[in-house]
Structure 1
Amino acid sequence: MSAGSVAVVVTEEIGLPSWDLYELSIPCTVFGKAQSDLADPWYELMLCGTGAGERPEDAAGTGLVLRTGYGLDDLVGADTVIVPSVPDPCVEEGEPLPRELIRALRRAYDAGARMVSLCTGAFALAEAGLLDGRRATAHWLHTAQLAERYPKVRVDDSVLYVDDGDVLTSAGLTAGLDLCLHLVRRDLGAHVANQLARRMVVPAHRPGGQAQFIDLSVPTTDDDALAPVLDWARSHLDRPLTVRDLALRAAMSPRTFYRRLQAATGTTPLQWLLTQRLGRAQSLLESTDLPVEKIGELSGLGTANNLRHHFLRHIGVSPSEYRRAWRQTVC
């Protein structure tokens, strides 16, 4: 087993926003501090900057000035290259990524480096063509943009990270820590990864995927005929509602109601109801100590077994695991 060298890309060296700082700190914490009692030698960490060269007074964000000791040319020869994130305008507004960064990523991959992205770093790997034909992920807020901009990438927004051998991607924020610990597990074994996780006071492995953190709410419709009946349905989720019930309350035929709801929300009536019921169950699991059986009843999902079935299928974890993970998160 070997640790090797890890090159972390810093795409903005001045005025890093707090979002980027958090994800940059994760590989620095995991790979940058020697743990010689766990593995010797430990990883060799290099921070490789793009060298944008902004003046500090012009920089936005935290105002922190970060000068790296390595440049993009140093990505070539590293055993692992990590792109923690890319500037927000490149994601939100489609601004081009630095061409020198994309060329450096391709050269590093061609030289045999293992390529890793955290959160929106997936946009850089995708731009370099390294995710074509591969399954990949990013923060669920940005997976739709990733899939639209790079149709050759098989985007999965339900997982915390994807290990595709020599190319790995993670969801946002703390999911980057899950992936970095996974890299340690691959390189140095489960014992080392587990001990490192204990020192960092985090789980060595979190159950489920990022599906459990996705906002399930459906945007409020501006269809005046639908809004009242949908508000009513949300207040009566414990009832055995049907499409016919909702259509009658909206004074429409079931066919018309189906068509209007799908046009307004992008989903079918039955899927809308299921999403609302799951959202209610999540809220009750987060905020109460009610037993699973009672939550199934109040959310309209029925028995505890039926609630577990839908949670495992759509959220990726059981109700009990969801409640435990949520409470660990807020604590």
Structure 2
Amino acid sequence: MPRVVFLLLPRLHLLDLAGPAQVFSTAADFGYAYELRYVGEREDIPTAQGLPIRAEVTWPELDPGDLVVVPGWRGPTFRGSPGLDPESSRRLVQHHAAGGTVASVCAGADALGRAGLLDGRRCTTHHGLQDELARRYPRATVVRNVLFVVDDRVVTSAGIASGIDLALHLIAVRHGPGIAARVAREMVVYTRRNGDERQAGALRYRSHLSDVVHRVQDLIDSRFTEPLPLDGLAAASGVSPRTLTRIFGEATGTTPLRYQQTLRVERAEHLIGQGATLESAARAVGFQDARMLRRLRTRTRGARSAAVEGPA
């Protein structure tokens, strides 16, 4: 069971903590086991909103699959940031060095910076703190106008509510965009992936309110490596193929086939990033060989480049 350990520092913002905690708790409700732990440098943690929180003072033993999150705190600048004792700093560095992921929300990036984890990496924080973060940690590259940044298992997010987007992204990476979308729907939030990651991800096709289309997407998500004829998807959703094509396009701006292909490419990219060959990744996601995967990857990169460059 992977752990999500929140390092609680004084004057933390409740939503910086509660947003990501709710995402992982909801995923656990859906059968994706997560154990949430809350540690601090002292037991009683005052919050910016006046509600005290009780934390553990002993860290659990961590595995590389675990996640450590530092929520942010109230303060117009980093000058009044709560101190980070050497043991907390050591724990953050040790977990990352062992292959684990560390993350911050809002001002929590300062704690990662003090631990040396921002040096040589891209990062972000609340828009009101970005200039100060850049001055405080000149070896870091502060990325502006994004919700979150991922760099070598160091994940930083912008202000307060962006912690939800960060957590949904991590759920999507671990369990697929369908599960992240299901969590977002349960929480009644948008499934935004407006971080400094690929913007053409499958999760962006989930920001709609059509229950029929969500059910079809749930089916595709669970069986995207298999052939899924349009007739079968329509029958499962209780509408005609023509109606399904129309409402799917209206809700998502794409077709069921293109949506399935996006899922396959995203999964293949993940496998390749983990060391798989192009051929083995292609077969793992349902292609007979690497030719189609190669074409789809080229098309995806072309679309991404066009989106960045904008119209001529």
Please give the range of the TM-score, normalised by the shorter of the 2 chains: 0.5 to 0.7
The answer to whether residue 25 in structure 2 is matched with residue 32 in structure 1 is: yes
Secondary structure of the 1:9 match is: strand
The answer to whether residue 57 in structure 2 is matched with residue 71 in structure 1 is: yes
| Paired residue type of 1:118 | V
Partners of 1:60 and 1:25 lie apart in 2 by 12
TM-score by length of 2: 0.57
Q: Deviation of residue 5 (structure 1)?
A: 1.3
1:8 and 1:27 in contact (8 A); partners too: no
Secondary structure of the 1:71 match is: coil
The answer to whether residue 160 in structure 2 is matched with residue 173 in structure 1 is: yes
The answer to whether residue 107 in structure 2 is matched with residue 120 in structure 1 is: yes
Partners of 1:317 and 1:207 lie apart in 2 by 17
2:26 and 2:183 in contact (8 A); partners too: no
For residues 287-326 of structure 1, the aligned pairs below 5 Å read none
The one-character-per-residue Cα deviations of 1:164-194 (angstroms, maximum 9, x if unpaired) are 1411110011211111100000111011001
Partners of 2:159 and 2:81 lie apart in 1 by 19
2:9 and 2:40 in contact (8 A); partners too: yes
Partners of 2:43 and 2:93 lie apart in 1 by 20
Partners of 2:39 and 2:176 lie apart in 1 by 27
Partners of 1:200 and 1:157 lie apart in 2 by 27
The answer to whether residue 36 in structure 2 is matched with residue 45 in structure 1 is: yes
Secondary structure of the 1:133 match is: coil
2:14 and 2:49 in contact (8 A); partners too: no
Partners of 2:135 and 2:24 lie apart in 1 by 33
Cα 1:32–1:181 shift into 2, 3 Å = same
Partners of 1:136 and 1:188 lie apart in 2 by 24
For residues 269-288 of structure 1, the aligned pairs below 5 Å read none
The answer to whether residue 148 in structure 2 is matched with residue 161 in structure 1 is: yes
The answer to whether residue 187 in structure 2 is matched with residue 200 in structure 1 is: yes
What are the ranges of 5 or more consecutive residues in structure 2 without an aligned counterpart?
197-306
What are the ranges of 5 or more consecutive residues in structure 1 without an aligned counterpart?
210-311, 319-331
1:119 and 1:138 in contact (8 A); partners too: yes
Secondary structure of the 2:117 match is: coil
Could you say what the CA RMSD is over the residues aligned between the two structures, in angstroms? 3.0
Cα 1:29–1:143 shift into 2, 3 Å = same
Aligned to 1:281: none
1:75 and 1:104 in contact (8 A); partners too: no
Match of 2:126 among 139, 152, 156: 139
The answer to whether residue 8 in structure 2 is matched with residue 22 in structure 1 is: no
TM-score by length of 1: 0.54
1:207 and 1:317 in contact (8 A); partners too: no
Aligned to 2:4: 6
Q: Deviation of residue 156 (structure 1)?
A: 0.9
Secondary structure of the 2:78 match is: helix
For residues 229-248 of structure 1, the aligned pairs below 5 Å read none
1:4 and 1:44 in contact (8 A); partners too: yes
Aligned to 2:218: none
Q: Deviation of residue 53 (structure 1)?
A: 5.2
Partners of 2:118 and 2:185 lie apart in 1 by 32
Partners of 1:166 and 1:122 lie apart in 2 by 14
Aligned to 1:130: 117
Match of 1:88 among 66, 75, 87: 75
